[in-house]
Structure 1
Amino acid sequence: MMPEATRSDDAPATSDGPLLTDRDGEVAILTLNRAAARNSLSESLVDALAAAFETITPDRTVKAIVLTGAPPAFCAGHDLREMTEARSAGDRGRAYFERIFAKCSTVMQAIVACPKPVIASVEGIATAAGCQLVATCDLAVAGESARFATPGVNIGLFCSTPMVALTRNVSPKHAMEMLLTGDMVSAGRAEQIGLINKVVATGDAMDSAMALARQIAAKSPLTVRTGKKTFYRQREMPLAEAYAYTARIMTENMLARDAEEGIGAFLDKRTPQWTGE
């Protein structure tokens, strides 16, 4: 269930529109808000997500982000009705298709580039680009009745852009099975193959995601920021290059004030006081 939020005067929650934004202490909460359309990614929703991450990314008061969907779904992927309407244009929708896929890809990259951990809280279905969203988030918690799929193959549209995030989370054969069959995957199976971190009772995903967000928010923001950036960069490097790069990062990290404070606090058996430097 949604926790009661505490809001600062300069960051009020929005109550309408395709995306709701809220705050609970140091955690930002983004809620896909197209329940009647199962929170499908219309162009307006994609634009709202892009704007939200543009605002949150530099905000030092936000330490973690939880992304969820208004019940009953997390996200059913792209808005197929909007896509079909675009076919009436003289170019049969080409300009719209190019624009929406580029915008969606930009949002996915913004989530990865955001220095704050992004945690998906999933209830209901997460399909196609919705599954892509889950795979793109740094962490994901799902209710046991949640379901995941990349079902484009069933309607003649291979889930090529969702494949990018999916193949960076699960093994090649599991990814290919999802992409080639389009079958729904249970929350338990999604956890087994590495698409999500944890399965909880239906209805408890938000509470669990918020607990995880608060736990991470209590860490040094410098350390978390450094770790997330380094994780994604080294993953694409050859082994020797990755070790050389991470050794440089660890050296710089050791020289940071927060590392000095954290190690000192550990040795002194006291709680560290983070400055983010």
Structure 2
Amino acid sequence: MNAHAKAQILLREDADGIATLTLNRPEARNPLSEAMLAALAETLAAIANDRSIRAVVLAAAGPVFSAGHDLKEMSARRADPDRGRAYFADILGRCSGAMQQITALPQPVIAAVEGTATAAGCQLVASCDLAVAGEAARFCTPGVHIGLFCSTPMVALSRNLSAKHAMEMLLLGEMVPAQEAARMGLVNRVVPAGEALDEARRLAAVIASKSAATVKVGKRAFYEQREMGLKAAYDNASAVMVENMLARGAEEGIGAFMEKRQPVWES
């Protein structure tokens, strides 16, 4: 797919240190197709190296945030000699890679969800660092209805929700309203319908006002320690904090606090 086509299915708008990415195939319910995953991977890689970007907002055009994988695209590969095994492994690996790119991105990523986010679309929301939902938004991992347990979405869900809430979504496959999703921990806050993007950008602006280096260190440390046992997590966090204390950002921030002035962050 050429660069123009990628740009059309995934829009990018930069303003005031915030990159807003918009899934832009509303007529197809913004599927995480081959093309969409390629566009996401390429765009996230570019943002990771863009020091002018301090936060990312992920939104979608149309009434559906994302319906997940393109099942028509996947089912067509059942005609392959291996019944699609190699293709399924490849596309699921690409999807998992994009989710991990979000976690590894130096900048925090905030999902702005209006409408429905289902299956891998729900996984995408769960993979973001923060999520804002319009009050009409709904979330679902419906694979169990069609004989396809949402195993890869399960990874992101189980790292956001309690075990029983995650299993409830995975086993029942029912739509979860925005307010319930907030209670479960899938989204941070619920706003009036149509205002998710504005609220996500407001949160992004708050983050963008902080030291980019400090936010980068903190995000990386958060995900590292979460995979560790208690002692290892404290040891790792302590080592990170020592290096953070010695960094220019902490020196400036603490100095500004003691001098009762606004800090001046390095870009």
Query: Conserved in 1, the CA contact under 8 Å of 2:6 and 2:35?
Result: no
Q: 1:14 to 1:66 in 2, by over 3 A?
A: farther
Q: Distance in 2 between matches of 1:216 and 1:16?
A: 26
Q: Distance in 1 between matches of 2:6 and 2:73?
A: 24
| 2:28 alignment counterpart | 37
For residue 17 of structure 1, report the CA deviation from its aligned partner: 2.3
For residue 15 of structure 1, report the CA deviation from its aligned partner: 9.4
Q: State the secondary structure of the residue aligned to 1:87.
A: helix
Runs of at least 5 residues in structure 2 that lack an aligned partner in the other structure: none
Q: TM-score, normalised by structure 2?
A: 0.97
Tell me which protein shows more helix as a share of its residues: 2
Q: State the secondary structure of the residue aligned to 2:145.
A: helix
| 1:63 alignment counterpart | 54
Q: Is the aligned partner of 1:234 residue 2:234?
A: no
| 1:81 alignment counterpart | 72
| 2:213 alignment counterpart | 222
- 4+ runs deviating over 3 angstroms: 13-16
Q: Distance in 2 between matches of 1:19 and 1:252?
A: 37
| 1:173 alignment counterpart | 164
Candidates 68, 76, 96, aligned match of 1:105: 96
Candidates 191, 194, 218, aligned match of 1:200: 191
| 1:256 alignment counterpart | 247
Q: TM-score, normalised by structure 1?
A: 0.93
For residue 14 of structure 1, report the CA deviation from its aligned partner: 9.0
| 2:200 alignment counterpart | 209
Q: Distance in 2 between matches of 1:24 and 1:147?
A: 29
RMSD: 1.3
Q: State the secondary structure of the residue aligned to 2:8.
A: coil
Q: State the secondary structure of the residue aligned to 2:216.
A: helix
For residue 181 of structure 1, report the CA deviation from its aligned partner: 0.5
| 2:137 alignment counterpart | 146
| 1:7 alignment counterpart | none
Q: Is the aligned partner of 1:51 residue 2:42?
A: yes
| 2:18 alignment counterpart | 27
Runs of at least 5 residues in structure 1 that lack an aligned partner in the other structure: 1-12
Deviations 1:167-221 (A, max 9, x none): 0000000000100000000000000010000000000000000000010000000
Give the length in aligned residue pairs. Answer: 264
Query: Conserved in 2, the CA contact under 8 Å of 1:147 and 1:187?
Result: yes
Q: State the secondary structure of the residue aligned to 2:21.
A: strand
